[in-house]
Structure 1
């Protein structure tokens, strides 16, 4: 079994435990769910959401590039000078 499959099974088990805890209202199961969720978030997040995080990082870098270009254009005033020339 690959790494992503292992984390998906743990996540599914955590969701099932959460549902059981809500249905039975047994407090120790809540604590088990919290601990398992923290473990999945800490160690499995990078494996489960690797592609999503890469896409998000790429979009953020593109956003920063456009934002920096807009700041530079406003700082230098080149955009306003070109409008005045027309």
Structure 2
């Protein structure tokens, strides 16, 4: 089921990209508005389906970054990093 959802959103994304290219080549501004609405729809509802694994990986990396940042701030605050 998840694969079917990914295929649906990926196809919709490719259609949006193709419509964008056609709109640029033909200079149809109405088509650009349709592409913008479609892109916002894909971003809002399709992003969690298309980039689920990527978002999870980024979240873990961000949490690790925050842990390191807090440890660095704490050591700088205590001054233990420069003491021998």
TM over 0.5: yes
Q: How many residues align?
A: 82
Deviation at 1:78, TM superposition (A): 2.5
- Cα deviations across residues 9-52 of structure 1 (Å, max 9, x unaligned)? 00000001011111111121111101100100111111111111
5+ residue gaps, structure 2:
none
Tell me which stretches of 4 or more aligned residues in structure 1 moved more than 3 Å: none
Deviation at 1:58, TM superposition (A): 0.7
Alignment of 1:17-56 (within 5 A): 17-56=19-58
> 1:78: which partner in 2?
80
Q: State which drifts further: 70-79 or 49-58.
A: 70-79
Q: In the alignment, does 2:18 pair up with 1:16?
A: yes
Q: In structure 2, what is the Cα distance between the partners aligned to 1:3 and 1:16?
A: 20
Question: Residue 65 of structure 2 is aligned with which of 45, 63, 66?
Answer: 63
Q: In structure 2, what is the Cα distance between the partners aligned to 1:75 and 1:18?
A: 52
- For normalisation by structure 1, the TM-score amounts to 0.87
From the CA coordinates, give the structure whose radius of gyration is larger: 1
- For normalisation by structure 2, the TM-score amounts to 0.89
5+ residue gaps, structure 1:
none
